[in-house]
Amino acid sequence: MCDYCTQHGAGERWYQNVRNYSKELESTSHVRDFCESYFSRDVPAGTDGFTSILDRISRPIRPNERDRVDERYSKYLHHQVVTRQEAKQVLEIASHQTDEHERAVVRLPCICRHISHGGDKDLRCFGIAFSDTYTRRFPSYLGGNHQYVSAEEASETLDEWTQTESIVHAVSALGVPYIGMLCNCDMQVCRPFIHRQRLGITSPWYKGHYAAVVNDTKCVGCGTCEKACPFGVIEIDIESQIARVNPEKCHGCGVCTNHCDDQALDLVAYERQSGY
């Protein structure tokens, strides 16, 4: 089990610990101060002027940027990949932490898409557990677009996206370890991932607890998984014409398993030697 789960998981993975969604934790000054600051700011819509993630990662690093970003993420934010089934479990846990008059989930614009593409009308991020506490207070956040849905409706939306898109689900702490967001990330613009890659810092993007494995007897070498992988870690072996996955590089998102028509890939529990 990872250090973060050991510290915040109470014997489970940290995002399966009910306390990390609780009203008790949400009401602490650490969480309130961060969320009020985060959701009250004016965030201009892009575009950011870049055409690919490689361009975004290759930007020059400003003086003190690495230490400043790492300190902020370490204190407040923790962004970790989860599978679709885990994402649905997160929604279920969060739905039991809200008062009866509150909806379990609020769909929000994705700040990463908003900054990079000039707005996000698809409401791809899910605010969870704190819905009414904060959404009543930021009607102008990212254009004021948000929509309340039930956990069941949000779960059905995840299933719909799985059929056609390469979205990566990630839980996000907003005031560690309070889990306030379930993000559905576009890896071309995901800022936590870009910060991790660009600045070489240990936060805020963390791989999940799974890795994809290939069933050689089912794989036909079609290359669908290679194209679908958001992280570019799947290759078709030239000699065997079978897909190969390096588990240390795999992020455990499960996108490849969603797109394989031959069901030749599975996710298995995996503890990485590198810790990332």
- State the pTM of this model: 0.93
The secondary structure element, H or E, covering residue 219 is none
8 Å CB contact between 40 and 173: no
The domains located in the chain, with CATH, are 3-206 (no CATH), 210-269 (3.30.70.20)
Alpha-carbon gap, residue 135 to 147, rounded angstroms: 10
pLDDT value at position 133? 65
| Count of C-beta atoms within a 10 Å radius of residue 30 | 13
Q: Comparing C-alpha atoms, which of 149, 112, 142 is closest to residue 127?
A: 149
Tokens of 198: 């660009």
What tens digit of pLDDT does each residue of 221-239 get? 999 999 999 999 999 999 9
Instruction: Encode pLDDT of 16-70 as tens digits.
Output: 999 999 888 888 999 888 888 887 777 878 889 999 999 999 999 999 999 999 9
Least confident of 127-131, 135-139, 202-206: 135-139
Averaged pLDDT score across all residues of the chain: 89
**Cα–Cα dist 212/267, whole Å:** 5
Yes or no: say if 210 and 270 are a contact pair by the CB < 8 Å rule: yes
For the chain, the first-to-last Cα distance in angstroms comes to 12
Work out the pLDDT band at 101, boundaries 50, 70, 90: very low
Contact in structure between 87 and 16 (CB atoms under 8 Å): no
Vertex 98 angle, CA 96 and 100, to 5°: 95
